[in-house]
A and B are shown apart, each in its own frame.
Chain A
C-alpha cells in the first residue's frame, strides 16, 4: 500500500500569513493526490484534486502542486476560516490512503 507522510503535524500562523503543508508518498503516484480541509465536528471538504486542480468554489488562495512522490498545499493570506486540519489523500490503484493530518492553529 502507498503510505503518505504529512509535515508538519501542526503549525501555528497568523491571519494574513502564508503556510505550506507537504505530503510525501512512499512510491510514485503521479498526480493522484487530493487535499481536504476538516473543521472540528464536520466532515472533510475537498479543496484540491489531481494534485493541482482547485475544486469548484474553493478560494484561489489555496494552491496544490507536485507530482510523483512530493506534494504541497500552500495557503496564502490566511483567513480566520482557514484554521482547521488538512489531510492529503492518494487514489493511485485500488487502495486509498490518507495522510495523518496537519493541524493549522492560530498563533
Chain B
C-alpha cells in the first residue's frame, strides 16, 4: 500500500509563503492524480488543489490566486505553495492520492500549519 508523508514548517508569520511537500512511497506518482486538502481547527475539510503529472493542475477557486501545486516524479514528491498566508490559512494540511473517479483513496497523516505573528 502506497504511503504519503507531508513535510513543511509548522509555524509561519502573516504574509509569508507556505511550502509543503508530500513524499510518495512508490512509483504510482506517475499514474495517479494527487492533491492537497486542509482542515482548519474544528472545521470541515476543504480541497485546496490537485495535479496530474506536470501539465494538469486544478485549484479551489476561493484561493486560486495564491496557490501553486507542482510535481517532481523523479523525486516521487509533489508540493504546495501558498502565498500571503493569514490566520485563516491555519489548518492541518493533508496530501492525498486522487483516483480517476475524483475521490481520495490514500491520505497522509497530515501536518499542522499555524499562522501567527
B contact residues around A45 at 8 Å (CB): 107
Asked if A98 and B107 make an inter-chain contact with CB atoms under 8 angstroms apart, the answer reads no
Residue A52 lies at the interface, judged by CB distance under 8 Å to chain B: no
A contact residues around B35 at 8 Å (CB): 96
CA distance A69 to B57 in the complex (A): 27
Distance (whole angstroms) from the CB of A40 to the closest CB of chain B: 11
B contact residues around A87 at 8 Å (CB): 44-45
CA distance A100 to B43 in the complex (A): 8
Q: Which residues of A contact B (CB under 8 A)?
A: 1, 32, 34, 36, 38, 42-46, 49-50, 55, 87, 89, 91-92, 94-101
Asked if B103 and A34 make an inter-chain contact with CB atoms under 8 angstroms apart, the answer reads yes
Given A43-B108, A44-B107, 16 more contacts at CB 8 Å? A34-B104, A36-B104, A43-B96, A43-B110, A44-B45, A44-B94, A46-B105, A50-B101, A55-B105, A89-B104, A91-B101, A95-B47, A95-B60, A95-B61, A98-B44, A100-B44
- Among A42, A43, A55, A100, chain B packs the most CB atoms within 10 A around the CB of A43
Ordered nearest first, which 3 A-B pairs have the shortest CB separation?
A91-B102, A43-B107, A96-B47
B contact residues around A1 at 8 Å (CB): 61
Residue ID in chain B nearest A56 by CB atoms = B105
- 15 A–B contacts from the bound complex (CB under 8 Å): A34-B103, A44-B45, A49-B105, A50-B101, A50-B103, A89-B45, A89-B103, A91-B101, A94-B58, A95-B47, A95-B61, A96-B60, A98-B45, A99-B44, A100-B44
Residue ID in chain A nearest B102 by CB atoms = A91
Residue B46 lies at the interface, judged by CB distance under 8 Å to chain A: yes
Distance (whole angstroms) from the CB of A29 to the closest CB of chain B: 10
CA distance A91 to B110 in the complex (A): 21
